[in-house]
Amino acid sequence: MPYQSFEDLDVWKRACQQAVTIVKEVEKFASFELKNQMTRAAISVPSNIAEGHGRVTPKDFSKFLRIALGSNNELKTQIYICLKLNLITPETGKSLIEENTIIAKMIQSLRKSLND
């Protein structure tokens, strides 16, 4: 592997920043359920990348990357819901979705590199 720890992974760094951005964005939401669910999904992405990196085999790491990708897709759905509820501006939604999409592609690329 061309990296020593999960902290070296650009995808982990971006996913952490995505989580920070989401947590700050949802602070103002009145709905505890949506706020909680989005926070949990956003935090799950970098957490699963880190946990998977600590596993013994590439196959185990790949499994956790699939979980991270699922959480990332869950978060993307919740962003779309926030847009439909007018909880975030269209500009904010577009920016969040673009970053989420980039992170998804990075996770998929990392998974592919483990399987090569």
Residue 1 has pLDDT above 60, yes or no: no
For the chain, what is the domain count?
1
**pLDDT tens for each residue of 106-115:** 999 999 998 7
For residues 78-103, average pLDDT: 97
CA–CA distance, 67 with 78 (Å, rounded to integer): 17
Residue 20 resides in a domain: yes
What predicted TM-score, i.e. pTM, was given to this entire model?
0.93
Q: Which domain holds residue 106?
A: 6-115
CA dist., res. 40 & res. 45, Å (int): 9
Establish if 104 belongs to a structural domain. Answer: yes
111 belongs to a structural domain: yes
Percent of the chain with pLDDT over 70: 97
In a domain, 1, yes or no: no
The CATH number of the domain holding residue 67 is 1.20.1440.60
Q: Is residue 102 a part of any domain in this protein?
A: yes
| Average pLDDT of every residue of the chain | 94
Whether residue 30 is contained in a domain is answered as yes
Lowest pLDDT segment from 10-14, 29-33, 86-90, 112-116: 112-116
111's tokens: 């998974």
